[in-house]
Structures are given as structure tokens and as C-alpha cells.
Amino acid sequence: APAARLRASVRASARARARRDFGCGSGGRAEGAPGPWGLAGQMAEGLKRKQLKLDLGHVTEKNIGQLKKLNAATFPVHYHDHFYSDLFKGLDYCRLGYYADILVSSICCRLEERKDGGKALYIMTLSVLKPYQRRGLATQLVEWVLERARSEERRADDVREVYLHVQTSNESAIGFYKGFGFEITETIPDYYKKIEPPDCYVLRKPLSDGPAATQD
């Protein structure tokens, strides 16, 4: 009984934080509730607090509104409606992250053709709600993407590399991705239009010659 009361207290506290910081109710998936770096340099995964385990859910037309709210709360830039409508062209590498039935994080990626053959997987957004940062959630989402890209299930995608753009001043995000084996391969001046500095790095992680070659 004490353990049950403690679990109930944790869930209630999490819901209260979500209402305060995210402006939503319970956010439970049963109710239809509902990058690349949505933390604007504030999230240093190395400064870890108590680690939390995510439950992953699919993006649907019913919960896309909650994803919009999450992105608005975590990104310094605004994503227009066409960004969200384009998501539905390919949701295989998009997931929502829940803790205690509350949407607290997400990752959205798209497949792109490579001129050298195979596909590239582009991380468009990775976001974690501020009260849940530094708890290993972003790590779980990136690990899920990399494992899925390498899996037998997605062999036909022929993913050869994963890449993303990161603002040049966002040292915590750069360090985070380097921990997964990403490397800076390019600098693009004036990539961002409404934030300073406007320049970005391109970070890439090769996945060898495709899914089969990366199996351990």
C-alpha cells in the first residue's frame, strides 16, 4: 500500500508540473493527448538527475496538437503548419515520449535520398520539456532512432547515415551528439533567420554501408 501511494503521488506531481509548465491536462494517450535540438543549449545530458524511463507512442492526427504545444514550449523557432502536415508523409522515424502518461518529449526524423546511394536519416526535431531535462530522455530517443535505422525491420530503408543541424553556439547539444559518434562535417552561415547566432553546424554519423553491415 505505501508503494502504491508513492506511485500515485509521483503521477500526480508529474501531472501538476505538466499543467504548470506545459499548459495541458493529464495528457494521457487514452485521451488522445499527444528535434533538431529543442533545448536551446539548456540541456546538458552529462548533468544527470534521476533517470526516467520513457514510453514511446506514435504521432497521429488526434495528438498532433499536443506535439505542436511541446515544440512551441521547447524551441526558439516557430514551426508552421506545413511542417506538421509533412510529418504524415513518413512517420516511421517519429515518436512521442511519455512519462507517467504525460507527453514530455519527442523526436521526428525523415528519410532523404543520398547522391552516393542509399538514404540519409535527417533528425528534424528532438525536444524534451524543461522539467524533464537531464534525465536521460533525449538519450533514449536518439538510441531508438539509431537502433531502428539499423534494424532488420527497416532494412529496406537502406539508411547509410544520420545527420542534423545544430546552432554553432549550442555546445551542450554538440557534445551530446558527439557522444553518439556524430561529427561536425560542415558549417552553414546564416542558416537560422530569427535567432542569434544564425550559423549552424552539420553533424553526421555514418551507419557504414547500410543496416546489415551494422549488426553486431
User: Which three cell numbers mark 66?
Assistant: 499536443
- Distance, in Å, from the CA atom of 187 to the CA atom of 61, rounded to the nearest integer, reads 36
Task: Cite the active site residues.
Answer: 122, 165
Tens of each residue's pLDDT in the chain, 216 residues = 544 544 444 444 444 444 333 333 322 222 222 236 554 434 444 455 789 999 999 999 999 999 999 999 998 888 999 999 999 999 999 999 999 999 999 999 999 999 999 999 999 999 999 999 999 999 999 999 999 999 999 999 999 999 999 999 999 999 999 999 999 999 999 998 888 999 999 999 999 754 444 443
Q: Are 195 and 134 in contact (CB under 8 A)?
A: no
pTM for this structure? 0.76
Which grid cell is 213? Answer: 553491415
Report the alpha-carbon distance of residue 132 to residue 81 in Å, rounded.
26
Q: What is the pLDDT of residues 161-210, one digit of tens each?
A: 999 999 999 999 999 999 999 999 999 999 988 889 999 999 999 997 54
Contacts of 13 (CB under 8 A, 6+ apart): none
Rounded CA separation 149/156 (Å)? 10
Helix axes 2-22, 64-74, angle to 10 degrees: 70
Distance from chain centroid for Cα 40: 13
